[in-house]
C-alpha cells in the first residue's frame, strides 16, 4: 500500500562530492564543539565510583564550571578534533555501503542498519586511539580523582600555562605507550565496537522510521526538514537507552586501563547494581539531543546543498 508521503532520501550518486566534503568538515567541527561539554560530563559520571564526585549531570556541570572554569568543559577538545577524520570516514562508509546494499535490497531499514553498522566499524577503528587520549585529558581537572585513572594527573601549575595542553597530551601518550605499547591506544576497542556499532545500526533505521511516522501525522505542507529534526533526537534517545550499559563499560575500560570487558561489567554490577548501567544516560541523551538536531539539520542541509545541479529542480522538500 502506498504511504501517505515518503520523505525523499538523497543517495550517494545524487551528490556533488566536492561540495559534500567541503561543507562536511565545517559541519562536523561545529557539532563537536557544541556537544563536547556534555561528552566530558558523561565520561566523568561513568568513570566515578557511585556519586563520589558528582551527584548527577547538572551537579557535574556546575562543579566543573566553578572549579575549572569554561576551559574545564573543553579539556581534551583539541585532541578530540582529530575525530574529524573519523567523521568523514563514517559518512563516506555509510553512503557507499548504503549504495552497495541497494543492489541486494530495496528495504530502507535493512540498508540503513547494514550501512550504519559498517560506518561505525570504520569510524571506531580511527576514533578509539583519539578517545583513549582525550578521555585521560578529560579527567585531568578532577580534584581527588587520582583513583579514577591509572595515569598520573598533571596539575595546571605543573604543566605551565603556555605549554599545558602539549605537555599533558605528550605525557599521557608516553604513559600509555610505556604501560601497554601500541596496544594501549586500542584499550576498549572491543567495548567501543559493542557500543557504537549497535548504536549506529539502531539510530539510522529508527531515524527514518520516526521521520516517516511523523510525516503521516503532520500537515501536508510541513517542511520535511522539521520532521527530520524531530526524528533525529527520538532515534538518538532510543539508541542511547539501548546501548548505554555497554557505553559505561567502554568508558571504564578506556580510562582505568582494564583489559577485560566482562570483568569490568561484573565489577560494575557488583559495586553499583543494575543502576550502574544507567550512569551517564541522562548526560548522553542531553548531549545526543542537540547533537541529533544539529547533525540531522546539518547533514540533510549539507546533502541538499551538495545535490548535483541537474537534480535540484526535480526534488520536493
**What mean pLDDT comes out for the span 2-19?**
74
The number of residues in the chain equals 317
Q: At what angle do helices 261-272 and 224-256 cross, to 10 degrees?
A: 90
For 10, 161, 190, the CA distances from 180, given in Å and listed in that order, are 44, 29, 16
- Measured CA to CA, the distance from residue 43 to residue 287 in angstroms comes to 12
- Measured CA to CA, the distance from residue 258 to residue 184 in angstroms comes to 10
Q: Would you state the pLDDT for residue 143?
A: 61
Q: Would you state the pLDDT for residue 146?
A: 53
Where is average pLDDT lowest: 36-40, 50-54, 112-116, 137-141? 137-141
Where is average pLDDT lowest: 61-65, 139-143, 169-173, 292-296? 139-143
For 42, 67, 88, 195, the CA distances from 71, given in Å and listed in that order, are 16, 10, 27, 28
Q: Would you state the pLDDT for residue 315?
A: 62
- Write the burial class of residue 167 (CB in 10 Å: 0-12 exposed, 13-18 middle, 19+ buried): middle
Contact assessment for residue 227 and residue 211, using Cβ atoms and an 8 Å cutoff: yes
Residue 4: pLDDT over 50? no
Q: Would you state the pLDDT for residue 289?
A: 81
**What mean pLDDT comes out for the span 163-181?**
76
Please give the grid coordinates belonging to residue 61.
556541570
Q: Would you state the pLDDT for residue 211?
A: 92
Residue 17: pLDDT over 50? yes
Contact assessment for residue 172 and residue 184, using Cβ atoms and an 8 Å cutoff: no
Between residues 255 and 53, the one the model is more confident about: 53
**What mean pLDDT comes out for the span 265-270?**
86
Between residues 65 and 221, the one the model is more confident about: 65
Residue 207: pLDDT over 90? yes
Q: Would you state the pLDDT for residue 2?
A: 35
Residue 151: pLDDT over 60? no
Q: Would you state the pLDDT for residue 312?
A: 72
Torsional sign, CA 284, 289, 295, 298: negative
Q: Which fold has domain 12-314?
A: Mitochondrial carrier fold (1.50.40)
> In the beta sheet, which residues pair with residue 15?
307
Q: Would you state the pLDDT for residue 148?
A: 56
Residue 153: pLDDT over 70? no
Long-range contact pairs involving 228-234 (C-beta distance under 8 Å, separation at least 24): 228/7, 228/296, 228/297, 228/300, 229/293, 229/296, 229/297, 231/207, 231/296, 232/207, 232/292, 232/293, 232/295, 232/296, 232/297, 233/288, 233/289, 233/292, 233/293, 234/206, 234/210
**What mean pLDDT comes out for the span 256-281?**
81
Where is average pLDDT lowest: 10-19, 135-144, 306-315? 135-144
Residue 162: pLDDT over 50? no
- The half-sphere exposure of 215 on its side-chain side, counting CA atoms within 13 A, is 17
- Measured CA to CA, the distance from residue 133 to residue 188 in angstroms comes to 12
307 — pLDDT class (breaks 50, 70, 90): confident
**What mean pLDDT comes out for the span 97-111?**
89
Q: List the one residue out of 265, 128, 100, 119 whose CA is nearest residue 184.
A: 128
Chain centroid to CA 239: 11
pTM: 0.68
* Domain boundaries along the sequence of the chain: 12-314
Question: Helices (DSSP H) in the chain: which residue ranges?
Answer: 17-47, 57-72, 77-80, 83-101, 108-138, 156-159, 164-180, 189-217, 224-256, 261-272, 281-305
Q: Would you state the pLDDT for residue 22?
A: 84
pLDDT in tens, 62-85: 999 998 899 889 988 888 788 788
Contact assessment for residue 30 and residue 53, using Cβ atoms and an 8 Å cutoff: no
Vertex 205, ends 201 and 207: CA angle to 5°?
A: 115
Q: Would you state the pLDDT for residue 147?
A: 52
Between residues 165 and 52, the one the model is more confident about: 52
Amino acid at each position: 500500500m502506498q504511504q501517505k508521503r515518503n520523505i525523499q532520501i538523497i543517495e550517494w550518486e545524487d551528490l556533488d562530492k566536492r561540495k559534500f566534503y567541503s561543507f562536511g568538515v565545517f559541519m562536523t567541527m561545529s557539532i563537536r564543539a557544541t556537544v563536547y561539554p556534555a561528552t566530558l560530563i558523561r565520561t566523568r559520571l561513568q568513570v566515578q565510583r557511585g556519586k563520589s564526585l558528582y551527584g548527577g549531570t547538572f551537579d557535574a556541570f556546575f562543579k566543573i564550571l566553578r572549579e575549572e572554569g569554561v576551559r574545564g568543559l573543553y579539556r581534551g577538545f583539541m585532541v578530540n578534533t582529530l575525530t574529524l577524520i573519523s567523521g568523514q570516514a563514517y559518512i563516506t562508509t555509510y553512503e557507499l555501503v548504503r549504495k552497495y546494499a541497494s543492489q541486494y535490497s530495496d528495504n530502507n531499514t535493512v540498508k540503513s542498519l547494514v550501512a550504519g553498522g559498517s560506518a561505525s566499524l570504520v569510524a571506531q577503528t580511527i576514533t578509539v586511539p583519539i578517545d583513549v587520549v582525550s578521555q585521560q585529558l578529560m579527567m585531568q581537572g578532577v580534584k581527588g580523582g587520582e583513583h579514577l585513572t591509572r595515569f598520573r594527573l598533571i596539575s595546571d601549575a605543573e604543566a605551565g600555562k603556555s605549554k599545558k595542553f602539549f605537555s599533558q597530551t605528550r605525557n599521557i601518550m608516553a604513559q600509555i605507550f610505556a604501560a601497554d605499547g601500541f596496544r594501549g591506544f586500542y584499550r576498549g576497542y572491543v567495548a567501543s565496537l559493542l557500543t557504537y556499532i549497535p548504536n549506529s545500526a539502531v539510530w539510522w533505521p529508527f531515524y527514518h522510521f520516526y521521520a516517516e511516522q511523523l510525516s503521516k501525522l503532520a500537515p501536508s505542507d510541513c517542511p520535511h526538514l522539521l520532521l527530520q529534526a524531530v526524528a533525529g533526537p527520538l532515534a538518538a534517545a532510543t539508541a542511547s537507552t539501548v546501548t548505554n550499559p555497554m557505553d559505561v563499560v567502554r568508558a571504564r575500560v578506556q580510562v582505568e586501563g582494564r583489559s577485560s570487558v566482562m570483568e569490568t561489567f561484573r565489577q560494575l554490577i557488583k559495586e553499583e547494581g543494575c543502576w550502574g548501567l544507567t550512569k551517564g544516560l541522562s548526560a548522553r541523551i542531553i548531549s545526543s539531543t542537540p547533537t541529533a538536531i544539529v547533525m540531522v539539520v546539518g547533514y540533510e542541509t549539507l546533502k541538499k546543498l551538495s545535490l548535483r545541479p541537474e537534480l535540484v529542480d526535480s526534488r520536493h522538500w
